[in-house]
Amino acid sequence: MQKHNLTVLIFANFFVAASATMVLPFLSLYIETLGDFSDAYVQRWSGFIFGITFLVAFFVSPLWGRFGDRFGRKKILLITGFGVAISLFLMSFVTSVLQLFFLRMFMGVVTGFIPTSMALISAQTKKEDAGRVLGTLQMGTLSGGLFGPLFGGLLADSVGFIYTFSITAVGICLATILVGWGVHEIRTKKMVQKARKSMRDVIAFIWKDKLLVTIMLLSLIVQTATFSIQPQLALFVGTLLEGENIAFLAGLAFSITGLGNLTATRYLGILGDRHGHERVLIACMIAAAIFYSPQAFVDSYLQLVILRFLFGIAIGGIIPCVAAYIRLVTPTDIQGEVLGYNQSFRFLGNVTGPALGGLIAGYYGLAGVFYLATALLVVMAIYTLIVVIRQSKEERDHI
């Protein structure tokens, strides 16, 4: 049953994750079709409309996890899956920028699908296999989020903006129907009775585990570093190439990180199961920093693509090892809510990354974005190592 559920949710997570980022290549162009606006207006609202989804999701994601723990995770998967599909479908019919903004806001409200799917699979997985299984599940989420801009750009060029929203909505709707038909969740009366902890109790549980807090902060930093260069990547690619396909090639350079993720995420999850998820997380952060910094010095597009692919391999182990650690230390009855908090930090990184990257690029140039992201990764790796050493020492002292 677990393997069947896992296969269905990998497919569904790909579509849901892709839907959140697919508008990136053409969002500003779509806004231009809604009226006669200045360039400054379009740029400003492009940022607002893209960021509002993740900002709202930052606050709402733990609630979906909590509802799933209490009322059943499959129900939440269906509600949020159809909610995302409806919001995308309605985007085909907007006639004003504000309508698009509010639909993206609503999309943020119903983005509990991914952490809920992780909680459902995690609850059915043995602790010693958590890294491998959750790493496999993340193949769908990571590849969807990073390939979303590429597919969105291709669809927009082929069939236009309106049909892009409609086609994606139909895909997510079909994926959600597949979840309703193919995913099986077992809930006993004991599980339902245990799911009674207050939100305050869950936050207190997280705060007591300093490594758990550190790992959630790590999720924020990695996401911030990954997305910091995204708004500026087309400009950076433009300094390396001349031609008419800069937008597509920039999307490809960003999405190639997803291919690196696909290559490594399951294997690194298995390494975490065998050697400790904390160790793999620290190694991944250091490797990510090593492959991020040289991107500032490339003088060809091929060099950039290779380095971004290697960066994708490096960060491929972070999400499955984070989720597996949460599985190891968190009781089953609150796993959904704890995973929801971790997902909130990742969503926040989707907002802070582009904002911070744009700010740094404006003051220090495009190379400054790579330096900042590298510094964040290095500092976070060192801090995580310190916390791991302290926690290990405390555990030895208690023996």
Report the mean per-residue pLDDT for the chain.
85
Is the pLDDT higher at 336 or at 187? 336
pLDDT of residue 1: 59
Nearest Cα to Cα of residue 391 among 212, 216, 204: 212
Looking up tokens 């269906």 gives 78
Environment class of 366 (CB within 10 Å of its CB; exposed 0-12, middle 13-18, buried 19+): middle
pLDDT of residue 192: 53
Domain count, the chain: 1
Q: Give dist(CA 305, CA 83) in Å, integer.
A: 35
Is the pLDDT higher at 131 or at 306? 306
Q: Are 53 and 20 in contact (CB under 8 A)?
A: yes
Alpha-carbon dihedral of residues 220, 221, 227, 228, nearest 10 degrees? 130
Q: Give dist(CA 109, CA 104) in Å, integer.
A: 9
Encoded tokens for 121: 């699979």
pLDDT of residue 258: 79
The whole domain housing 14 covers 2-397
Q: Give dist(CA 313, CA 127) in Å, integer.
A: 24
Range of weakest confidence among 132-146, 201-215, 267-281? 132-146
What is the average per-residue pLDDT within 103-131? 85
Nearest Cα to Cα of residue 202 among 50, 62, 37, 317: 62
What is the average per-residue pLDDT within 18-37? 77
pLDDT tens, 155-194?
A: 877 888 888 888 888 888 988 998 998 888 876 555 555 5
What is the average per-residue pLDDT within 302-310? 94
pLDDT tens, 33-67?
A: 888 888 778 877 877 887 888 889 888 988 888 88
Q: Give dist(CA 35, CA 56) in Å, integer.
A: 26
Q: Give dist(CA 327, CA 321) in Å, integer.
A: 10
Distances (CA, A) of 303 to 202, 241, 253: 45, 12, 10
Helix then strand then coil, in percent of the chain rounded to 5, is 85, 0, 15
pLDDT of residue 193: 53
- Percent with pLDDT over 70 in the chain: 94
Nearest Cα to Cα of residue 80 among 195, 175, 191: 175
> Could you tell me the maximum CA-CA distance found in the chain, to the nearest angstrom?
70
pLDDT of residue 196: 64
Whichever domain contains 118, its CATH number is 1.20.1250.20
Backbone angles phi, psi at 352, to 5 degrees: -70, -30
What is the average per-residue pLDDT within 113-140? 82
In the structure, what pLDDT confidence band is assigned to residue 87 with cuts at 50, 70 and 90? very high
Given a cut of 60, whether residue 113 has pLDDT beyond it is yes
What is the average per-residue pLDDT within 111-134? 83
pLDDT of residue 191: 53
pLDDT of residue 190: 53
The pTM (predicted TM-score) of the whole model is 0.81
What is the average per-residue pLDDT within 10-33? 78
Is the pLDDT higher at 123 or at 310? 310
Looking up tokens 């390494």 gives 271
Q: Give dist(CA 383, CA 375) in Å, integer.
A: 12
In the structure, what pLDDT confidence band is assigned to residue 248 with cuts at 50, 70 and 90? confident
- The number of helices, as runs of H, and strands, as runs of E, in the chain is 18, 0
Top-confidence range, 119-123, 315-319, 380-384: 380-384
pLDDT of residue 130: 80
Given a cut of 90, whether residue 134 has pLDDT beyond it is no
In the structure, what pLDDT confidence band is assigned to residue 358 with cuts at 50, 70 and 90? confident
pLDDT of residue 280: 93
In the structure, what pLDDT confidence band is assigned to residue 399 with cuts at 50, 70 and 90? low
DSSP 330: S
User: Residue type at 336?
Assistant: G
